[in-house]
């Protein structure tokens, strides 16, 4: 058998960790998101995907009738469909002939609290969803300055890694300090 290749973590400019004692205000001040919305939720109960789905639905203000049932299996594609709605702002444009609206990407600061190693797999799925979305945004708006930023509050490791969807993934985290 051959030697297993060591997985190098993705280096990003969007994934951060911070002490669990760091306040949301301190995190916001660090990034200076002028017009960016801030979304915050807890990964404390992220052992099951239905719990994650409900936390995300709650954080983004969806009605209760959208929530998943306890024990329901929920795919990450479904969860990703509910996220990122705050990243966009409608801009009305008026001309002599018509009034139309377009969506402007403004980014978002997402703070996930209570990040522990027992939910590393689901945090990794979350990170993979964010990475995919960021790549999509960059493909349609390559010069955009606004960012989607994720902060894992309470995560103490320098790397977030897990085996998801049959392969290993890893991200290096940029550490914030108080």
pLDDT at 6 over 70: no
Cα 177 to Cα 148: distance, rounded to the nearest angstrom: 20
Q: Write the pLDDT tens digit of every residue in 123-133.
A: 999 999 999 99
Instruction: Calculate helix-pair angle for 120-140, 49-59, nearest 10 degrees.
Output: 50
pTM of the model: 0.88
Ranges of each domain in the chain: 10-175
Q: 10 and 131 in contact (C-beta within 8 Å)?
A: yes
10, containing H or E segment = strand 10-18
pLDDT tens digits along 15-71: 999 999 999 999 999 987 667 899 999 999 999 989 999 999 999 999 999 999 999
Tens of pLDDT along 63-97?
Answer: 999 999 999 988 888 888 888 888 888 876 665 56
Reading the block at residue 96, the tokens are: 């002599």
Q: What confidence score (pLDDT) does residue 95 get?
A: 58
CA angle, 35 then 57 then 43, to 5°: 90
**pLDDT by residue (tens digit) across 143-166?**
777 889 999 999 999 999 998 888
């Amino acid at each position: 058998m051959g030697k297993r290749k060591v997985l190098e973590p993705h280096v990003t400019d969007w994934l951060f960790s911070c002490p669990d004692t760091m306040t949301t205000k301190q995190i916001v001040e660090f990034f200076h998101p002028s017009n960016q919305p801030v979304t915050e939720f807890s990964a404390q109960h992220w052992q099951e995907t239905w719990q994650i789905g409900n936390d995300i639905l709650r954080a983004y203000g969806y009605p209760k009738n959208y929530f998943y049932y306890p024990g329901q299996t929920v795919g990450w594609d479904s969860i990703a469909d509910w996220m990122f709605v705050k990243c966009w702002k409608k801009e009305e444009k008026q001309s002599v002939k018509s009034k139309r609206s377009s969506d402007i990407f403004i980014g978002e600061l997402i703070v996930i609290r209570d990040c522990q190693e027992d939910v590393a797999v689901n945090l990794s799925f979350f990170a993979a969803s964010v990475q995919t979305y960021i790549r999509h945004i960059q493909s349609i708006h390559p010069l955009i300055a606004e960012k989607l930023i994720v902060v894992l509050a309470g995560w103490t490791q320098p790397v977030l890694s897990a085996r998801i969807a049959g392969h290993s993934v890893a991200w290096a985290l940029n550490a914030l300090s108080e």
